[in-house]
Structure 1
Amino acid sequence: MTDTFADLARQAISHIISSCKITHFLIGLILLSFLIGLNSCGEKQQKVALSPRPVRFVIAPQPTLSIFHNQTGEIRAHDELTLGFRLGGRLLTRRVEVGDEVKKGELLASLESETGENQFNSARADLQSAIVSEQVAAANLRRMKILMPSGAIARVQLDNAMADWQSALSHRQTSENALKNARENLDWTRLTAPAPGIITQVSASSGQVVGAGQTVVNLAEATELDAVFDLSESQVRALKNVQSLNVSLLSDPAITTHGILRDISPQADPQTRTWRVRISLNNPPRAMALGASVQAPLPETGLGGIRLPASSLSQSGGTPAVFIVDRRNLQLEMRPVIIGRFSTREVFISSGIRPGETVVTAGVSKLRQGEKVSLGEGQE
């Protein structure tokens, strides 16, 4: 009995020891696999880190001495007229709409003219009466002059005939002036085009009562055209030394014409803080109609410099900088630069880089000083 119990105990202890060995073996195997995996990941990361990053680049060009910027403008009439009646009254008809082409002397609108016609007819009748009275007074004066030498009449009768004739003559002249004024007032009830052009705006409708001088229509003369631009202060300063420019159609740059600087607004617009510049066009093509968008290369003042894409600009200690690729070892150098001027698409570097150097143009926020790179897409 005792021997049997001892044998069972030895077997149990052997089984436990065997189980512990297996467990330790399994744990060791798992740890070994984990360490191998970490080592493999580290090797991959090390390989990735050591792989040079491809970069886009540009070769720094020669400095730009003169800077021109294509400015967009609009075709406007050389002269824009606001037309209205000289007299007040009720608008009877308006024969034009926005966009209509009119000729010189064409009727644009008219007022009710009954009162003017009545005044004209009255002045004409009064003139006819004055003419008859002047003729009678002149005939009477001639008779008195004939009778006076023979003593048939007294001197006072001749003087009275002379006074009557002079009074009739003055009345006739007054009636002529009154008829002229009545005719002008009647003509002023008709609004006509003073020159050929295009109607750009209407401000009154039929049946509306308008005052003297109130705008009824706006007329843009079609004889001469201007290109109108709104420019910054620096562009205006540079433009004062320019007399002629080439203006092209924005939708088709092949359509161009020559222009001469006409005038520059003496003060800036209070809202946009820009100055209006008008360029007179010489024989503009038909495609450059009123309202068409045009462009012109306008000079700007300020420093020139090496032109680079705006995407190449970075920062180093709060100052502008760019990444230069050393062609000998393909390592990056972050170099501070001085910006002469810039826009949304390009910057002009006045100091810090030299022509012919390789400048990184994309992804500069992810690059670091001394990083090794490979040259990818670029512009030589």
Structure 2
Amino acid sequence: MTDFIPCFARQALRHLTLFNAAVPALFVVGILILTGCRDEKPAQRDTLRPVRTLTVPPFSSGGLMTQTGEIQAHEEIALAFRLNGRATARTADVGQHVTAGQVLATLESNAAQNQLSSATADLNSARASERVAALALHRMKLLMPGGAISRAQLDSAQGDWQVAVSRRQSSEAALKNARDNMAWTQLTAPRDGVITSINVQPGQVVSAAQTVMTLAADGKRDAVFDLAEPTLTEKATTTPIRIALLSNPALKADGQFRDISPQADSQTRTWRLRVTLINPPADMALGSTVLGTFPGKVDQVIALPASALTRAGERPAVFVVNSKTQQIQVRPIQLTRFDAQQIYLSAGVLPGERVVTAGVKTLLPGERVRLEENDK
């Protein structure tokens, strides 16, 4: 028994020795396996954002100005009821051509009909009273020479007749007003034209003078432009303006300066210029987009793509690329005018500088960029 215990101890010691020798080897093998499973170290990403740029061209004369506009009616009429009430019907739609006198909408007419009936009854009563007063006056005049009545009785009969006449005249005026009110429950077209907008639907309660729909009268047409500065048209008031249809530039017409708004629009901060067209082609219909060419200020300006325009606070600006650091900075500019394709500025950048012309909405000031190969 005593020999068995030392033998058992020797075997256990031998196994522990083998295990301790195997542990480091297993640890090294595990490390190698984990190392082999790891992905290769990714290459360092290029953090420079590629951008498209343009070298600022030299200043050029801004004598000729092109602007995109829209064809509108020379005369637009806001149609409204003269009475308060509830709209019961509408017989015209947007884009529909209507003729003068055509009924476009109607109001509920119960109150107007009652007023008309009451005024008619009052007039009939006043006329009857006038006839009675006239007969009484006639009898008094026959009795007066014989002394059957006094002078005071004749004067009283004369006064009663005059009161009856005045009441009859007042009733006639009231009846005319009632008939007018009845007629005003129908909204009619004052002229031939096209309905361009509708603001009231059947069942809606409207007030007097509330615009129900807008009528673009037939006849003359205007080209309407929104300008960045009112002084751009200093020479346009005396010089013919050339108007071309944007979808078909071969269709052209001459235009004559009509007016320009005295102050800028509160939302767009632009001035509205209206040009009356002279014998426009039929394709220049309402709502058509046109391109106007007319003389503006003879200033030196720089033309850039419209896609380069961004904002610096409330001011227009562009992104300028620093050629040394490849960083961009936002630069406020003095905008002279603009159209759908280009902007024209008189200050803010210099010829030879590079400005970003695409993706300006996603860029941040101070960001580093990489020029495209074609821009270098």
Pairwise CA RMSD of aligned residues? 3.6
**Stretch of structure 1 that moved more, 204-213 or 178-187:** 204-213
Contact 2:259 2:273 in 1 (8 A): yes
Q: Which residue of 1 aligns with 2:115?
A: 119
Taking a change above 3 Å as real, the CA distance of residues 300 and 139 of structure 1, as seen in their structure-2 partners, is: same
Deviation of residue 246 (structure 1)? 1.9
Q: CA deviation at 1:162?
A: 0.3
SS at match of 2:248: coil
- Of residues 247, 251, 261, the one that matches 1:251 is 247
Partner of 1:72: 68
The correspondence of residues 97-116 of structure 1 with structure 2, limited to 5 A, is 97-116=93-112
- Report whether the alignment pairs 1:277 with 2:248: no
Contact in 1 for aligned 2:234/2:296 (Cα 8 Å): no
TM-superposed CA distance for 1:272, in Å, is 2.8
SS in 2 for 1:171: helix
Q: Which residue of 1 aligns with 2:198?
A: 202
Is the 8 Å Cα contact of residues 94 and 108 (structure 1) preserved in structure 2? yes
Structure 1: stretches of 5+ with no match in the other structure: 1-59, 319-340, 353-361, 367-380
How far 1:230 moved relative to its partner? Answer: 0.7
Shift, 1:345, TM fit: 6.7
One-letter amino acid matched to 2:126: A
For 2:207, the equivalent position in structure 1 comes to 211
Residues in 2 aligned to 1:184 and 1:363: alpha-carbon distance in whole angstroms: 77
Partner of residue 161 from structure 1, selected from 153, 157, 161: 157
1:242 and 2:240 aligned: no
Higher helix share: 1
Using structure 1 for the length normalisation, give the TM-score.
0.63
Corresponding pairs, count:
271
- After TM superposition, give the deviation of residue 187 of structure 1 in Å: 1.0
Q: Does the CA contact (< 8 Å) of 2:236 and 2:294 recur in 1?
A: no
Please name the residue that 1:231 is paired with: 227
Gaps of 5+ in 2: 1-56, 307-319, 325-335, 352-371
The aligned runs of 1:204-353 (5 Å cut-off) are 204-233=200-229, 236-243=230-237, 244-304=240-300
Instruction: Indicate if the aligned counterparts of 1:196 and 1:223 stay in contact, CA closer than 8 A.
Output: no
Residue number in structure 1 paired with 2:126: 130
Instruction: In structure 2, give the amino acid aligned to 1:258.
Output: D
Letter in 2 for 1:237: T
* Change beyond 3 A, Cα 1:226–1:305: closer
Bigger Rg over Cα: 1
Displacement of 1:294 in angstroms is: 0.8
Q: Residue 88 of structure 1 aligns with which residue?
A: 84
Deviations 1:320-366 (A, max 9, x none): xxxxxxxxxxxxxxxxxxxxx998779999x99xxxxxxxxx98964
Task: Tell me the residue number matched to 2:40.
Answer: none
Residue 315 to residue 342, structure 1, CA distance change in 2 (3 Å): farther
Q: Please give the TM-score of this superposition, normalised by the length of structure 2.
A: 0.63
SS of structure 2 residue aligned to 1:212 = coil
